[in-house]
């Protein structure tokens, strides 16, 4: 069994803290994002460089336009850049379809300026879709999304769905976009970021939990794709880069494990599937 690890970085910087809300829209909250851009991201880039692992960074256009230097370092190091909104607005909070469309288009423009090409992948801010999100992803030609949770370690095809409150839930036709599933269980933010009056977790227990999920996948899932979601403003803080290094080394020591960008992991999954048919 071959397994793939996709380390993904949601490079939000200050963008989530621009939105009014319980914890957003304040200078001190924004300073957490400045730390992410100016300290956390360089630490993660250095770590991935030392360990020679390709990764995928989902970067809001706001981050690209505000902190170009670390974004250029990410590109120069060969990592993939994916879409994460321009303004990091959760899709359900756009005022209209047109407002969502304009923000997605602006995010693509920022990425094109950074990398020279449009992104293949989209990750929804806050991991949610509005009723317009999937049709917009189709319109803009995205190949994959990494926001859904219908599988654990297995990419799957996004489909139309019918979810009336007064009738059965049904899925419809595939929409031509592959979903590379994420999990709140493999996201540093809910586990390790202080939020309101919620204390952060035991860091060792969180990294141990991620390691045990990887071990479970390698024993039970055929050709699993393990997606871990990191935020520079969370996992870039000490001593987490060292703990992340230990986790990556544990994974790399397992025979048959590869680290890949999400795009490359999908290409590998597709060619493996084609091979089985012959
Ligand atoms: Zn984000």
pLDDT, tens only, 70-122 = 999 999 999 999 999 999 999 999 999 999 999 999 999 999 999 999 999 99
Quote the ligand 1 centre to 236 CA distance (angstroms): 15
Report whether pLDDT(276) > 70: no
Q: 26 is written with which tokens?
A: 């304040």
pTM: 0.95
Beta strand 144-145 with 121-122 is: parallel
The DSSP symbol for 126 reads: G
Quote the ligand 1 centre to 204 CA distance (angstroms): 24
Quote the ligand 1 centre to 12 CA distance (angstroms): 5
CB-based neighbours (< 5 A) of ligand 1, an ion: 10, 12, 125
Quote the ligand 1 centre to 101 CA distance (angstroms): 18
Quote the ligand 1 centre to 116 CA distance (angstroms): 22
Quote the ligand 1 centre to 10 CA distance (angstroms): 5
Q: Band of the pLDDT at 273, cuts 50, 70, 90?
A: low
Kindly report the number of other CB atoms within 10 A of residue 1's CB atom: 13
Q: Band of the pLDDT at 200, cuts 50, 70, 90?
A: confident
Q: 229 and 187 in contact (C-beta within 8 Å)?
A: yes
Which domain does 13 fall in, by range?
A: 3-277
Quote the ligand 1 centre to 85 CA distance (angstroms): 9
Q: What is the pLDDT of residue 97?
A: 98
Residues recorded for the chain? 278
Q: What is the dihedral of CA 256, 122, 272, 50, to 10 degrees?
A: -30
How many domains, the chain? 1
Q: Band of the pLDDT at 22, cuts 50, 70, 90?
A: low
The upper half-sphere exposure of residue 186, i.e. CA atoms within 13 Å in the direction of its Cβ, equals 26
Beta strand 80-83 with 257-259 is: unpaired
- Average of per-residue pLDDT across 124-134: 95
| Distance of alpha carbon 217 from alpha carbon 228, whole angstroms | 13
Quote the ligand 1 centre to 263 CA distance (angstroms): 19
The most distant pair of C-alpha atoms in the chain lies apart, rounded to whole Å, by 58
Q: Which CATH number does the domain housing residue 109 bear?
A: 3.20.20.370
| Distance of alpha carbon 136 from alpha carbon 249, whole angstroms | 39
Quote the ligand 1 centre to 195 CA distance (angstroms): 15
Mean of per-residue pLDDT scores for the chain? 94
């Amino acid at each position: 069994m071959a397994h793939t690890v996709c380390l993904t970085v949601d490079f939000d910087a200050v963008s989530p803290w621009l939105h009014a809300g319980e914890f957003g829209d304040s200078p001190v909250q924004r300073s957490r994002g400045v730390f992410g851009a100016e300290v956390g991201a360089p630490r993660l880039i250095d770590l991935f460089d030392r360990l020679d692992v390709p990764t995928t960074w989902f970067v809001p256009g706001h981050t690209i336009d505000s902190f170009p230097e670390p974004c250029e370092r990410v590109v120069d190091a060969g990592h993939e850049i994916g879409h994460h909104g321009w303004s990091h607005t959760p899709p359900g909070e756009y005022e209209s379809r047109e407002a969502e469309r304009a923000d997605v288009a602006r995010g693509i423009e920022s990425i094109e300026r950074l990398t020279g090409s449009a992104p293949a992948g989209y990750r929804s801010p806050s991991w949610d879709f509005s009723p317009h999100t999937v049709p917009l992803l189709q319109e803009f030609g995205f190949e994959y999304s990494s926001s859904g949770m219908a599988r654990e370690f297995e990419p799957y095809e996004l489909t139309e769905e019918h979810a009336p409150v007064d009738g059965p839930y049904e899925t419809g036709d595939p929409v031509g976009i592959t979903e590379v599933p994420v999990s709140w269980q493999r996201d540093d933010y809910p586990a390790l970021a202080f939020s309101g009056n919620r204390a952060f977790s035991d860091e060792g227990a969180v990294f141990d939990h991620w390691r045990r999920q990887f071990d479970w996948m390698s024993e039970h899932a055929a050709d699993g794709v393990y997606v871990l979601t990191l935020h520079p403003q969370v996992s870039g803080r000490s001593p987490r880069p060292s703990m992340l290094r230990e986790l990556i080394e544990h994974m790399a020591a397992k025979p048959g494990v590869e680290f890949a960008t999400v795009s490359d992991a999908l290409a590998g999954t597709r060619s493996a599937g084609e091979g089985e048919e012959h």
